[in-house]
Amino acid sequence: MLWASRSVRLLRPAAVICDGITRAVRGQTLLDDLHLVVGVGARLLIVSQPEESASLLLRVLAGLAHLRAGTVRLAGVTRADDSAAGWARRVGYVGPESGIYPWMSPREVLDLAARLAGLDSDERHRRIELAAETYRMGLQLDEPIRRGGPSLTQRTALAAAMLTDPEVLLLDEPLRAVEPTERTRLLAIPGRRRTVLIASRFPASEAGLVNQVALLRRGRLALHAPVRELDARGLTLSQRGIETLAALMAEGTPPAAAIG
């Protein structure tokens, strides 16, 4: 394991570091000299104005979108390395488009993800069975994904991302097609040292799943605070609550809690 528990506890290393990242899309600056540091084990909700900024940030972190300026560092590395044992086991990403062929069954998707990560046959089998149980695929495990609808597609995408036990998990509007109670269960991602970043347009739906919140406004970091800061001021985990907290902190109101 990259992060030994003792060093995590004592040094609080950063799992994600964005250093002055800038990117425009079709003339609109969505990331503008953004600086963000996310500690190991954080569960961070990212909300943004415009809404595309948060999605773009996750795609940049996943190595899918390029930067005009700045650098990112994920789980201790600055760029994707092609070794299956390296990047694929450090970072997982689930975007709004699953990218899975609809004719594949969840078992085939998971098997492919495991093969690409370089897992041996026994380990592949063990992890697929575990994922099938965790994500409640049951009889649908060997059926084409198109028959299971968007819910099965999204659960399979998350299961495939989790298959390699990544240290940093990037989730862009995850599991929107899944029933809310089941969604909450699945997004309670296990692992105290696993860092999870969720980009969401509906912050209230992430209540209980995150312990930090960040607000990007016009591509810059307007707020990065613990969720308990909202609670301490009687604000809710909503777009309005987050913006109110950002305004209060910009006015110089002392924080009630530090980012842990």
Partner 1 sequence: MTRLRTLTGMALRELWISFRLIPVVGLPVIAGMGVTSLPPELAGVSAIGGASFWYAVGAGASISFAAALAASTIAHERRRGTMAWMSVRAVPRSAVLVSWFVAYGLLLAGGIALGAVGAWLAAVARAEAPIDPLPFVAAVMALACTALATLAAALCIGTLLGRWTAAIVALLGCAALLAASIGGPLAGMLLPTAGIGLLADLGSGARPLGDALRSGGAALGTAAGLLVVAAVVLERADL
The residues binding partner 1 (CB under 8 A) are: 59, 62-66, 80-84, 86-88, 91-93, 95, 97-101, 103, 112-113, 115-117, 161
Q: Which is nearer to partner 1, 117 or 225 (CB)?
A: 117
Q: Which is nearer to partner 1, 4 or 64 (CB)?
A: 64
The least distance separating partner 1 from the CB of residue 100, rounded to whole angstroms, comes to 7
Edge-to-edge order in the sheet of strand 14-25: 28-39, 14-25, 69-74
Q: Which is nearer to partner 1, 161 or 223 (CB)?
A: 161
Residue 217 and residue 155: Cα distance in Å, rounded? Answer: 31
The least distance separating partner 1 from the CB of residue 210, rounded to whole angstroms, comes to 22
Q: Which is nearer to partner 1, 71 or 83 (CB)?
A: 83
Max intra-chain CA distance, the chain: 57
Q: Which two tokens stand for residue 54?
A: 């948060």
The least distance separating partner 1 from the CB of residue 257, rounded to whole angstroms, comes to 33
The least distance separating partner 1 from the CB of residue 221, rounded to whole angstroms, comes to 22
The least distance separating partner 1 from the CB of residue 105, rounded to whole angstroms, comes to 12
Q: Which is nearer to partner 1, 81 or 179 (CB)?
A: 81
Q: Which is nearer to partner 1, 146 or 233 (CB)?
A: 146
The least distance separating partner 1 from the CB of residue 118, rounded to whole angstroms, comes to 9
Residue 198 and residue 185: Cα distance in Å, rounded? Answer: 15
